[in-house]
Structure 1
Amino acid sequence: MSQQTVLRCIDDIQAFEQIPLSERQLPETTYEALRQGAAINPDAPALSFFLSASAMRAPYTLTHAQLMGRITQTANALRRLGLQRNEVAAYILPNMPETHFSIWGGSAAGGILAINPLIEAGQMADLLNAAGVKILITLEQSPGSDIWEKASQAAAKVPGLERILLCNFASYVMGDGVWPNGPDLPPVAARIEGRDITITRLLDEIAAENAKDINFALPGPDDISTMLCTGGTTGLPKIVSRTHFGEVYNSWCPSLFVGQDNVGPGTTALCGLPLFHTNAMLVTGLLPWMHGGHVVLATPSGYRGEGVIAGFWEMVEHYGITSFSGVPTIYGALLQVPHKGRDLSSMRFAACGAAPMPVELFNSFVSETGVSIVEAYGMTEGVLASSMNPAETDAPRIGSIGLRFPYQDMRIGILNDRDEFERWAEVDEAGVIFITGPNVFDGYLIEEQNRGIWLEHDGKRWFNTGDLARQDAEGYFWMTGRKKELIIRGGHNIDPKIVEEAMHKHDAVAMAAVVARPDAKVGEVPVMYYQKASGMDVDKDDLAEFAQIHVPERAAVPKDFICLDALPLTAVGKIHKVTLNMMEIERAIRVEAQSAAAEIETLEVVQDASRGIVAKVCVKSGREGLNRALGNFAFNVDLN
Structure 2
Amino acid sequence: MTDDLLWPRYAAPTDLAAIEAVPLADRDLPETTYALLARAATRWPARTALSVLPDAARWREPESRSFAELLADVHRCANLLHRLGVRRGDAVALMAPNCAQLVTAMLAAQLAGIAAPVNGALSRPHLAELLRRSGARVLITAGPELAPEVWETARALADELDAVLVLRPTGAGGAAPPLDDIAGVRVGYIDEQAATEDAEAFAGEPPRSADLAAFFHTGGTTGAPKLAAHTHANEVADAWMLAANSLIDPDTVVFGALPLFHVNALVVTLLAPLFKGQRVVWAGPLGYRDAALFGEFWRIVEHHRIATMSAVATVYATLAQVPVDADISSLRFAMVGASPLPPAVRTDFQQRTGVPLLEGYGLTEATCASARSFPDAPRPGAVGQRLPYQHMTVLENGVLAISGPTVFPGYVVGREDHGYRLDGLGKLVDGWLDTGDLAEIDEDGFVHLRGRAKDLIIRGGHNIDPALIEDALLAHPHVTAAAAVGRPDAHAGEVPVAYVAVAPGAAVDEVGLLAWAAQRVPERAAVPKAVTVLDALPLTAVGKPYKLDLRADATRRAVADALAAVPDAEVEAHIDDGSVVVTVTAPTSCDRTAIGDALGAYAVTWNLHITQDAS
Q: TM-score range by the shorter chain?
A: 0.7 to 0.9
1:584 aligns to what SS in structure 2?
strand
**Per-residue deviation, 1:585:** 6.7
Matches within 5 A, 1:98-137: 98-137=101-140
Choose which of 205, 228, 240 in structure 2 pairs with 1:217. 205
Which of these residues, 399, 411, 414, is aligned with residue 381 of structure 2? Answer: 399
How far 1:446 moved relative to its partner? 2.3
Q: In structure 2, what residue type is equivalent to 1:399?
A: G
Would you say 1:347 and 2:331 are equivalent positions? yes
Q: How many residues align?
A: 502
Per the TM alignment, residue 360 of structure 1 is displaced from its structure 2 partner at its CA by: 2.2
Instruction: Give the match's secondary structure for 1:414.
Output: coil
> Aligned pair in 2 of structure 1 residues 406, 339: CA closer, same or farther (>3 Å)?
same
Paired position in structure 2 for 1:443 = 410
Contact 1:53–1:298 (Cα < 8 Å) also in 2? yes
Partner Cα distance (1:142, 1:521) in 2:
40
Residues 451, 400 of structure 1: alpha-carbon distance in 2 compared, 3 angstrom cutoff: same
Q: Which of 278, 294, 298 is equivalent to 1:313?
A: 298
**Residue 384 (structure 1) aligned with residue 368 (structure 2):** yes
CA distance in 2, matches of 1:598, 1:227: 43
Against the structure 1 CA distance between its residues 584 and 172, is the aligned structure 2 distance closer, same or farther, given a 3 Å change threshold? same
- 1:445 alignment partner, SS class: strand
The answer (yes or no) to whether the contact 1:263–1:288 under 8 Å persists in 2 is no
Q: Deviations over 1:492-541 (max 9, x none)?
A: xxxxxxxxxxxxxxxxxxxxxx99998978745798946xxxxxxxxxxx
In structure 1, the residue matched to 2:449 is: 479
- Residues 73-112 of structure 1: matches in 2 within 5 Å? 73-112=76-115
Identity fraction in percent? 32
Q: CA deviation at 1:5?
A: 3.1
Distance 2:480 2:104 in 1: 32
Aligned to 2:320: 335
Distance change >3 Å, CA 600–CA 272, structure 1 → 2: closer
CA distance in 1, matches of 2:192, 2:307: 35
SS, match of residue 102 in structure 2 = helix
Query: Aligned match of 1:285 in 270, 274, 282?
Result: 270
Residue pairs, 1:162-561, within 5 angstroms? 162-169=162-169, 172-173=171-172, 183-185=174-176, 188-192=178-182, 195-232=183-220, 234=222, 236-259=224-247, 262-264=248-250, 266-340=251-325, 342-391=326-375, 393=376, 395-415=377-397, 431-446=398-413, 450-456=424-430, 461-485=431-455, 523=481, 529=487
Per-residue CA distance 1:135-155 (angstroms, 9 max, x = gap): 000011237631011122122
Q: Distance in 1 between matches of 2:184 and 2:515?
A: 68
What is the DSSP-based 3-state SS (H/G/I as helix, E as strand, rest coil) of the residue aligned with 2:37? helix
Tell me, in whole angstroms, the C-alpha distance in 1 between the residues paired with 2:45 and 2:479: 42
Aligned partners of 1:587 and 1:172: how far apart in 2? 38
User: What secondary structure sits across from 1:31 in the alignment?
Assistant: helix
1:584 pairs with 2:554: no
> Partners of 1:190 and 1:222 in 2: how far apart?
40
Residue 11 of structure 1: CA displacement? 4.4
Question: Secondary structure of 2:208's match?
Answer: coil
Three-state SS of the structure 2 residue aligned to 1:484 is helix
Distance, in Å, in 1 between the alignment partners of 2:449 and 2:276 is 31
Shift of 1:46: 1.3
Structure 2: which 5+ residue stretches go unaligned?
Answer: 415-421, 457-465, 530-544, 546-615
The Cα offsets for residues 390-413 of structure 1, whole Å up to 9 and x where unpaired, read as: 34x2x4123311111111111111
TM-score normalised by the chain length of structure 1: 0.72
- SS in structure 1 of the partner of residue 339 of structure 2: coil
| Residue 449 (structure 1) shift | 7.1
Per-residue CA distance 1:432-459 (angstroms, 9 max, x = gap): 1100111100111127973321233xxx
After superposition, the C-alpha distances for 1:240-291 in whole angstroms (9 at most, x for unaligned) are 11011110110110123353xx152x22111111111111122111111232
Q: Specify whether residues 354 and 15 from structure 1 end up closer, same or farther in structure 2 by C-alpha distance, changes over 3 A only.
A: same
From the superposition, tell whether residues 528 and 599 of structure 1 become closer, same or farther in structure 2 (CA, over 3 Å): closer
Provide the rounded CA distance (Å) in 2 between the counterparts of 1:601 and 1:249: 43
Q: Distance in 2 between the 1:480 and 1:528 partners?
A: 16
Distance 1:584 1:21, change over 3 A: same
RMSD over aligned Cα atoms = 3.3
Task: Summarize the Cα distance change of 1:521–1:263 in structure 2 as closer, same or farther, 3 Å threshold.
Answer: farther
In structure 1, the gaps of 5 or more residues are 175-182, 416-430, 487-513, 531-563, 570-575, 618-633, 635-640
Change (3 A) 1:409 1:28: same
Distance 1:144 1:247 in 2: 29
2:17 is paired with a residue whose SS is helix
Match of 2:150 among 138, 147, 150: 147
Residues 13 and 374, structure 2, Cα contact 8 Å, conserved in 1? no
> TM-score by structure 2 length?
0.75
Alpha-carbon distance in structure 2 between the residues aligned to 1:476 and 1:346: 28
Q: How far apart are residue 616 of structure 1 and its match?
A: 11
TM-fit CA distance, 1:54: 1.6
SS in 2 for 1:148: helix
Tell me by how many angstroms 1:232 deviates. Answer: 3.8
Q: Distance in 2 between matches of 1:23 and 1:231?
A: 35
